[in-house]
Structure 1
Amino acid sequence: MSAQEEVLFQQTLMLTELDNQQHKKIKIFLDQDYEALHIAFSYNPQEVPKELALRVIEETLPQYDWEKNLQAMDFLPLQNLVTMSLAYEGEYLGCRHNKETQQEILISEKESSWGFIPQKVSSGQWEIQLNLHCVQSEVTVELMVKGVLSK
């Protein structure tokens, strides 16, 4: 008999430039233990539209003491960047800080995905933190957490 999964949490978030360099904490309370957690995380678009990116870069360049004659075009493409961290009962379990826009993350006592500490999936307070490193256009984030029941 194969393991069964049940959806524990699912959400679509709409981000804007106002969310830039913020953190969004999403608390999930599990009322039972699971064999593993599967977290599906994605965001898009990764690339900021060119016209908007040029405006943002042109507004930002004067803040730096550049002796070179830099042009906004030199900094294209500008990319949105959203990463994810995870904690259980206030204990940091790791993060996946990279530019992949679609990620599948496994958490279990025996093994966990790259960047995360193996952790028994026990009942209690779990927290996903979305790290909004760069949000310079409208961005859609999809998040789904599934609990894997024992075989």
Structure 2
Amino acid sequence: MNILFQQEGRIGKEYDRRHIVYEGIFEEDYKGIEINFEYSPKLVESDEKAEIIIKDLIDKQIIGEEKEKVIWDKYKNLKNLVTISFDDKNGFRGCAHRHDKEQSHIISQEYASPGFIKGLVPKGAFKVILSVHALVTDECFYKVKIIKRGEECD
């Protein structure tokens, strides 16, 4: 396995509704790459914690008597949502706004995973962008790995 890029980290409340951007340089053109991305936890730890979060949001978002009509446990399956995008030196190559906590995406000359643009991955600058759409747990951990793919790979 030829790893071209690898990063892991922690997302705390300071990253909620923000982007985490990594930049790098590919030393050569690639016939294909595979982007592996995972994060955890996906779900809020307990119903008790979900109740606190939801009731706080109800207090902040809903005015007057309407607050009493909202049944908090209707919304208790709170989930973190972190998505990934990829740019190469020519610009946007795609994104995966998926809810899966483990993902694998391919960009190659012959094929691209849904949301990505197929074609040669050129030598030069690239960006990996993690978008933190919702962080409902106190923290979340992620891993990103880009692997070389193609005929010349194992």
TM over 0.5: yes
Say if 2:59 is the partner of 1:62.
Answer: yes
For 1:20 and 1:88, locate their aligned partners in 2 and report how far apart those are by CA, in whole Å. Answer: 25
In structure 2, the partner of 1:22 is: 18
Following superposition, the deviation at residue 19 of structure 1 comes to 1.4
* Identity, % of aligned positions: 26
Following superposition, the deviation at residue 124 of structure 1 comes to 0.7
Following superposition, the deviation at residue 149 of structure 1 comes to 5.2
In structure 1, the partner of 2:141 is: 140
For 2:144 and 2:25, locate their aligned partners in 1 and report how far apart those are by CA, in whole Å. Answer: 16
Secondary structure (helix, strand or coil) at the match of 2:2 reads strand
Q: Normalization by structure 2: what TM-score?
A: 0.87
Q: Normalization by structure 1: what TM-score?
A: 0.89
Q: 1:90 to 1:26 in 2, by over 3 A?
A: farther
Say if 2:120 is the partner of 1:124.
Answer: no
Aligned pairs for 1:62-81 within 5 A: 62-65=59-62, 67=66, 69-81=69-81
Secondary structure (helix, strand or coil) at the match of 1:114 reads coil
For structure 2, which runs of at least 5 residues remain unmatched after alignment? none
For structure 1, which runs of at least 5 residues remain unmatched after alignment? none
Give yes or no for contact 1:57–1:72 (8 Å, CA) kept in 2: yes
For 2:25 and 2:91, locate their aligned partners in 1 and report how far apart those are by CA, in whole Å. Answer: 14
Say if 2:73 is the partner of 1:49.
Answer: no
Secondary structure (helix, strand or coil) at the match of 1:112 reads coil
Say if 2:8 is the partner of 1:12.
Answer: yes
Give yes or no for contact 1:34–1:150 (8 Å, CA) kept in 2: no
Following superposition, the deviation at residue 86 of structure 1 comes to 1.1
- Paired letter, 1:140: F
For 2:149 and 2:98, locate their aligned partners in 1 and report how far apart those are by CA, in whole Å. Answer: 26
Say if 2:89 is the partner of 1:89.
Answer: yes
For 2:32 and 2:50, locate their aligned partners in 1 and report how far apart those are by CA, in whole Å. Answer: 40
Secondary structure (helix, strand or coil) at the match of 1:128 reads strand
For 1:55 and 1:14, locate their aligned partners in 2 and report how far apart those are by CA, in whole Å. Answer: 23
Range moving further from structure 2, 67-76 or 21-30? 67-76
RMSD: 1.6
Say if 2:34 is the partner of 1:33.
Answer: no
- Paired letter, 1:139: C
For 1:71 and 1:12, locate their aligned partners in 2 and report how far apart those are by CA, in whole Å. Answer: 38
